[in-house]
Amino acid sequence: MNILVLPGDGIGPEIVDQAVEIIKILSPDFKLNYGLIGGAAYDAHSDPFPSDTLDKALSADSVLLGAVGDWKYDKLPRDKRPERGLLRIRTALNLFANLRPAILYPQLAEASTLKPEIVSGLDILIVRELTGDIYFGQPRGIEKNNHGEREGINTMRYSESEIRRIGHVAFKMAQLRGKKLCSVDKANVLEATELWREVMTDLSSHYPDVDLSHMYVDNAAMQLIREPKQFDVMVTGNIFGDILSDEASMLTGSIGMLPSASLDENQKGLYEPSHGSAPDIAGKDIANPIATILSVAMMYKYTFNEINKAEKIEKAVGKVLNDGYRTLDIMSKGCKQIGCKQMGELILRNIINE
């Protein structure tokens, strides 16, 4: 197997280093290939997603990504900015299904800003559509209108087939879990999501064992804070999923804990932490590598179908947390604070000693 590693910007390289060590131990036969994306690629090639990276990504079996972005690129034209690199690789590889689990490790119940009884045992899966919606809809741009005033324009757009294919993924995920699926939309105001609700409802006849419900996105944002354990699987469009998945991450104590998988129709995937590049703490060895390490666990599970190895990683993470080790973002009283590198090494040691 051939894995393309794209460390990216900010804390990307340091967290990816830790995750790569784990792949090397678990799969010494895997070939690791490196490429550039985001600001790092812009610096080298004036392009956040150079053709060399595209070629490598197309021929890889799976992609591991760190994070992209830095404030220093904020003034560049939009198509040169690091985020564009991420959006382009999602499109190029047709990664329409983004899985973002929000699981609270019981050891971290204290790290959440919510009361422990609200979040303990939390295990939600957010299924976010990743290649459509207002992120990509045309027309878009900033244009002068008839009165000579500038207007910002974006278009929320979903075709039936786009909704259907992400719906199938979400229903199937629900079948493998608690058999509850909540579809999130804004059907009371937006036609694009009125169609979304209709298609999800139609699909549900193929999955009689799954209990489908619908919720408006504003209510969903509230319910996630009020009573998050009511949810099993949530499915939603690109923009709502972007927002709700950040919100859900904080239920678990830190966005530094959350992995993600972005999959195409054939389970080829790009795996990355749900968090960003955090340039303010880059290079200081204080970032939390766990989200990236758990993304490798997702890679074993979804792309390589090696559940065994995925569980080994998850167990090792649990063990290190049990032993009281914490990075800064999940630190609480009585625990031992360690850096990114040491966190990676401890998890690795637990995998080896298992």
Q: Which of 61, 246, 264, 285 is catalytic?
A: 246
Judged by beta carbon, residue 131 or residue 350, the one nearer ligand IPM is: 131
- By the rule CB under 6 A, 83 interacts with ligand IPM: yes
Q: Has 218 been annotated as catalytic?
A: yes
Q: Has 135 been annotated as catalytic?
A: yes
Tell me how far apart the alpha carbons of residues 133 and 242 are, in angstroms, rounded to a whole number.
11
- Report the chain's C-alpha Rg in angstroms: 20
Which residues are within 8 A (CB) of 43 and not within 5 positions of it... i.e. 6 or more apart? none
Q: Has 246 been annotated as catalytic?
A: yes
- By the rule CB under 6 A, 247 interacts with ligand IPM: no
Q: Has 34 been annotated as catalytic?
A: no
- Return the sign of the alpha-carbon dihedral for residues 164, 169, 170, 174: positive
Q: Has 271 been annotated as catalytic?
A: no
In a 13 Å sphere around the CA of 241, the CA atoms on its Cβ side amount to 32
Stretch that binds ligand IPM, among 58-66, 79-87, 278-286, 291-299 (CB under 6 A): 79-87
- By the rule CB under 5 A, 247 interacts with Mg ion: no
Judged by beta carbon, residue 100 or residue 319, the one nearer ligand IPM is: 100
Which residues are within 8 A (CB) of 63 and not within 5 positions of it... i.e. 6 or more apart? 3, 4, 5, 6, 57, 89, 93, 269, 270, 271
Stretch that binds ligand IPM, among 45-53, 83-91, 167-175, 295-303 (CB under 6 A): 83-91
Which of the listed partners (Mg ion, ligand IPM, none) does 83 bind, with a CB threshold of 5 to 8 Å by partner kind? ligand IPM
Tell me how far apart the alpha carbons of residues 296 and 272 are, in angstroms, rounded to a whole number.
8
123-142 b/e with 16+ CB inside 10 Å = b?
ebbbbbbbbbbbbbbeeeee
Judged by beta carbon, residue 21 or residue 162, the one nearer ligand IPM is: 162
Q: Least distance (Å) from ligand IPM to the CB of residue 274?
A: 7
- By the rule CB under 6 A, 86 interacts with ligand IPM: yes
Which residues are within 8 A (CB) of 8 and not within 5 positions of it... i.e. 6 or more apart? 16, 37, 38, 39, 40, 65, 66, 67, 68, 82, 277
Q: Which of 17, 43, 52, 242 is catalytic?
A: 242
- By the rule CB under 6 A, 242 interacts with ligand IPM: yes
- Residues near ligand IPM (CB under 6 A): 83, 86-87, 242
Q: Tell me which residues are annotated as active site.
A: 135, 186, 218, 242, 246
- Residues near Mg ion (CB under 5 A): 242
